[in-house]
Chain A
Amino acid sequence: MTKFLTLLSREVKSCFYSPIAYVVLCFFLGLTGLCFYSGVGFLSRGATERTVVEAFFDSIPFWIGFILIFPPITMRVFAEEFKMGTIETLMTAPVRDWQVVLAKFGGALVFYIVLWLPTLLYFVVFQQIAKADAANAAGAYWGSYLELLMAGMLFISVGCFASVLTQNQMVAAVISFCVITFFFLGGLLSFFTPNIAPEFRMMASYCSVLEHMGEFSKGMIDSRRFVFYGSGTALMLLLTHQVFQFRRWKA
Chain B
Amino acid sequence: MIKVENLTKRYAGITAIRDLSFHVEKGEIVGFLGPNGAGKSTTMRILSSYMPATSGRASIAGFDVFSQSMEARQHLGYMPENVPLYPDMRVTEYLNYRATLKEITGARQRERVGDVKELCALKEVENRIIGTLSKGYRQRVGLADALLHSPDLLILDEPTIGLDPNQIRQVRDLIRNLGRHHTILLSTHILPEVEMTCSRVVIINRGKIEAADTPENLVHAMRTAGGIRLEAKVGKDDGLAEIGKLAGVKEVSVEAEDDWSVFTLRTDSRSDPREELWRLATDRRWTVRELSRRRATLEDVFVELTLGDEV
Measured CB to CB, the residues of A under 8 A from B are: 2-3, 6-7, 10, 14, 17-18, 84-89, 91-96, 248-251
Contact = CB atoms under 8 A, between A and B. Distances in A.
B88 A88 contact: no
A85 B85 CA distance: 8
Contacts of A10: 97
B98 A86 contact: no
B51 A248 contact: yes
B52 interface: yes
A93 B51 contact: no
A94 B99 CA distance: 11
B88 A14 contact: yes
A88 B84 contact: yes
B12 A250 contact: yes
B101 A6 contact: yes
Nearest to A87: B84
Max count, chain A CB within 10 A of own CB: residue among B12, B52, B84, B102: B84
Contacts of A2: 100, 103, 105
Nearest to B41: A88
Contact of B48 (A84, A85, A92, A96): A92
Contact of B84 (A86, A94, A251): A86
A89 B80 contact: yes
29 contacts: A2-B100, A2-B105, A6-B97, A6-B100, A7-B101, A10-B97, A84-B86, A85-B80, A86-B86, A87-B84, A88-B45, A88-B48, A88-B50, A88-B84, A89-B80, A89-B84, A89-B85, A89-B98, A89-B142, A92-B49, A92-B73, A92-B76, A92-B78, A93-B101, A94-B73, A94-B74, A94-B102, A96-B70, A248-B51
Interface string B94-122: 00011011110100000000000000000
B144 to A, nearest CB: 12
Contacts of B80: 85, 88-89, 92
B52 A93 contact: no
Nearest to B74: A94
Nearest to A247: B51
B86 A85 contact: no
A94 B51 contact: no
A10 B89 CA distance: 10
Contacts of A86: 84-86
A251 B11 CA distance: 7
Instruction: Name, among A3, A10, A17, A89, the residue most crowded by chain B CB atoms within 10 Å (CB to CB).
Output: A89
A142 B162 CA distance: 57
A246 to B, nearest CB: 11
Contact of B86 (A7, A14, A94, A96): A14
A167 to B, nearest CB: 13
B64 interface: no
A3 B101 contact: yes
Contacts of A84: 84, 86-87
Given A85-B84, A94-B101, A248 B50 contact: yes
A98 B53 CA distance: 21
Nearest to B129: A17
A94 B65 CA distance: 12
Minimum-distance CB pairs A-B, first 4 = A85-B84, A94-B73, A6-B100, A92-B48
B228 to A, nearest CB: 48
A92 B154 CA distance: 13
A3 B100 CA distance: 6
Nearest to A251: B51
Contacts of A93: 73, 98, 101-102
Nearest to A14: B88
A249 B101 contact: no
Interface string B116-158: 0000000000000000000000000010010000000000000
A130 B11 CA distance: 66
Given A92-B48, A93-B98, A251-B51, 14 more contacts: A10-B97, A17-B88, A88-B80, A89-B85, A89-B142, A92-B50, A92-B80, A93-B101, A94-B74, A94-B102, A248-B50, A249-B51, A250-B12, A251-B11
A63 to B, nearest CB: 33
A250 B12 CA distance: 7
B54 to A, nearest CB: 10
Residue with the highest number of chain B CB atoms closer than 10 Å, among A87, A91, A95, A96: A91
A162 B87 CA distance: 23
Nearest to A250: B12
B173 to A, nearest CB: 24
Interface in B46-83: 48-52, 70, 73-74, 76, 78, 80, 82
